[in-house]
Each structure stands twice: as structure tokens, then as C-alpha cells.
């Protein structure tokens, strides 16, 4: 799931630097969340642009209506304690930390606030925050992180055992016929590997298949971030 902040939502209405990247968030097809605070912040930003003649009254009203209808709004009452703690930890505005607090419980915060991204990364919270231009790779990493590390380690260990069994049966690396591999398919490691994989959702299986092909140059410990 994606959490968006006002720096992204304003760009959906106003033509300013970073608008193309911000609008790409809308193409992801992910459910979007934000603290109720976003209506106040976006409304304030658009009213200021109204006074400068950059947007019309209708644009402001339409933008706020769209936000209220398309984004799941979360009460700030649920977030203020975490937001306060994050504000002190990062030495950053509590307004922005409401969004970060929500992301830490719901998914990934997409923001154009470069200062917030840098502070989150410096405080070991970078996995919860992404600039819009980095969203594609960050979402893959976030999705992958949903697979328990113990499962990834088990899969790697069992796969290595399966390889050992295969090599013992066929040192040349190739079997002349499929029946020659029957001892491999009935080995404890192969059966256990099937049980572990069988418990994973289809989407997670896809990530592990990708790791099997794309992550061969990485150590097991590198896999969660080895894209």
C-alpha cells in the first residue's frame, strides 16, 4: 500500500517541477492512504496558489473532492503519538511525520520532500520512504521485504541441498532421461522445499523465482535488497 503526502497530491493539480513523476503514482493501481491532515495541507497550498492566480477556485474544490474520494483518509488521532516520536527522532516537522508514521504501519510513503527522505534514510527508516522517481524499484524491495527473511534463508538452504543431491546423482550435470531424476524428486530436501514454497502466496513465489534468476550473483544475506 502507498501513503502519499501533500507534496505529491498538490502536483496532481498544479503544473510544477516533478509533476510527471508524481502523477505516475496514480498509475500504480495501489490503494492510497493519507492522514486526514492532507486535506488541510493541500487546501492551504492550493488557496495560496489561488491568490497568486495559478489555479482557479474550481480547481481547488475539485482537487479536494478527488482527494477525499480517492484516498483512504486516516484519523490523526491514531497517529499523533508515533508522529511526535518521529518528529523528535528526525528533528523534522511533525506535520510530515504524520505521513511517515502512517507509512510505517501501512506501507510506503511517497514524497517529493527530499529533506524528509534524507533524514529517514539517515535514521534507518529509508525503507518506508521513496521519492516518486524511485517508486518502481522501492516498491519491489518493499514487496520483497514482506517475505520473512527466515523463509528466504530456508529456500536458499533447501535449494542448495537439492543441488547437492542432483550433483551426486549426475556428476555430469545432465540426466539422460527424466526417470533418472526420481530420487531427486523424492529426496527430503526437495519435498521440504515444496512444502515451504507451497505456503507462499502466488505473488511472493514470483519474487523468489526472480531472485533465483536475477540474484545469482548475490549472497543469501543480500537477497532482500539484491534487485
| Nearest alpha-carbon partner for 78 in 106, 40, 41, 117 | 106
pLDDT tens, position by position, 27-70: 777 788 999 999 999 999 999 999 999 999 999 999 999 888 88
130 and 183 within one domain: no
Instruction: Return the CATH number at 108.
Output: 3.40.50.1010
Q: Which of 39-48, 121-130, 159-168, 212-221 has the lowest mean pLDDT?
A: 212-221
102 and 178 within one domain: no
> 123, 144, 165: which is the final residue of a domain?
144
- Cβ atoms of 215 and 156 within 8 Å: the answer is no
157 and 70 within one domain: no
pLDDT score of 226: 35
> 144, 169, 194: which is the final residue of a domain?
144
pLDDT score of 199: 77
pLDDT tens, position by position, 146-159: 566 667 777 777 77
Q: Which comes out higher in pLDDT, residue 81 or 160?
A: 81
Q: Which comes out higher in pLDDT, residue 210 or 198?
A: 198
91 and 173 within one domain: no
pLDDT score of 46: 95
Q: Which comes out higher in pLDDT, residue 81 or 167?
A: 81
> Mean per-residue pLDDT for 96-109?
88
pLDDT at position 218 over 50: no
Pure H helices in 91-187 = 94-106, 114-122, 135-145, 149-169, 182-185
68 and 111 within one domain: yes
| Nearest alpha-carbon partner for 117 in 132, 139, 106 | 132
- Cβ atoms of 112 and 6 within 8 Å: the answer is no
> Alpha-carbon Rg of the chain, whole angstroms?
24
99 and 23 within one domain: yes
Structural domain count of the chain: 2
What is the DSSP-derived secondary structure letter of residue 199? T
152 and 85 within one domain: no
Please state the φ and ψ torsions of residue 72, each to the nearest 5 degrees: -75, 115
Query: What average pLDDT is seen over the chain?
Result: 79
Which residue range is the domain that position 176 belongs to?
148-225
pLDDT score of 116: 94
Q: 89, exposed or middle or buried, with CB in 10 Å at 0-12, 13-18, 19+?
A: middle
| Nearest alpha-carbon partner for 88 in 41, 126, 123, 113 | 123
pLDDT at position 141 over 60: no
75 and 14 within one domain: yes
Q: Give the whole-angstrom CA distance, residue 82 versus residue 36.
A: 15
> 113, 144, 175: which is the final residue of a domain?
144
191 and 140 within one domain: no
Bridge partner list, 129: 109
175 and 200 within one domain: yes
Q: Give the whole-angstrom CA distance, residue 45 versus residue 39.
A: 10
The band of 225, judged by pLDDT with boundaries at 50, 70 and 90, is very low
113 and 34 within one domain: yes
157 and 79 within one domain: no
Amino acid at each position: 500500500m502507498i501513503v502519499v503526502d501533500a507534496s505529491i497530491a498538490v502536483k496532481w493539480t498544479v503544473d510544477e517541477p516533478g509533476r510527471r513523476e508524481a502523477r505516475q503514482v496514480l498509475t500504480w493501481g495501489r490503494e492510497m492512504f493519507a492522514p486526514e491532515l492532507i486535506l488541510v495541507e493541500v487546501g492551504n497550498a492550493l488557496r495560496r496558489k489561488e491568490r497568486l492566480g495559478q489555479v482557479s477556485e474550481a480547481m481547488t474544490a475539485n482537487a479536494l473532492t478527488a482527494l477525499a474520494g480517492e484516498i483512504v483518509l486516516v484519523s490523526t488521532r491514531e497517529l499523533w503519538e508515533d508522529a511526535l516520536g518521529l518528529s523528535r527522532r528526525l528533528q523534522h516537522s511533525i506535520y510530515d511525520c504524520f505521513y511517515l508514521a502512517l507509512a510505517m504501519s501501512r506501507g510506503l510513503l511517497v514524497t517529493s520532500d527530499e529533506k524528509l527522505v534524507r533524514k529517514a534514510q539517515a535514521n534507518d527508516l529509508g525503507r518506508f520512504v521513496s521519492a516518486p522517481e524511485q517508486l518502481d524499484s522501492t516498491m519491489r524491495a518493499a514487496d520483497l521485504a514482506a517475505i520473512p527473511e527466515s523463509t528466504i534463508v530456508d529456500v536458499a538452504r533447501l535449494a542448495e541441498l537439492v543441488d547437492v543431491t542432483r550433483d551426486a546423482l549426475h556428476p555430469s550435470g545432465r540426466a539422460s532421461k527424466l526417470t533418472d531424476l526420481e530420487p531427486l524428486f523424492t529426496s527430503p530436501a526437495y519435498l521440504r522445499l515444496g512444502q515451504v514454497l507451497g505456503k507462499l502466496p502466488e505473488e511472493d513465489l514470483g519474487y523468489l523465482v526472480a531472485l533465483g534468476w536475477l540474484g545469482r550473483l548475490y549472497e543469501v544475506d543480500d537477497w532482500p535488497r539484491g534487485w
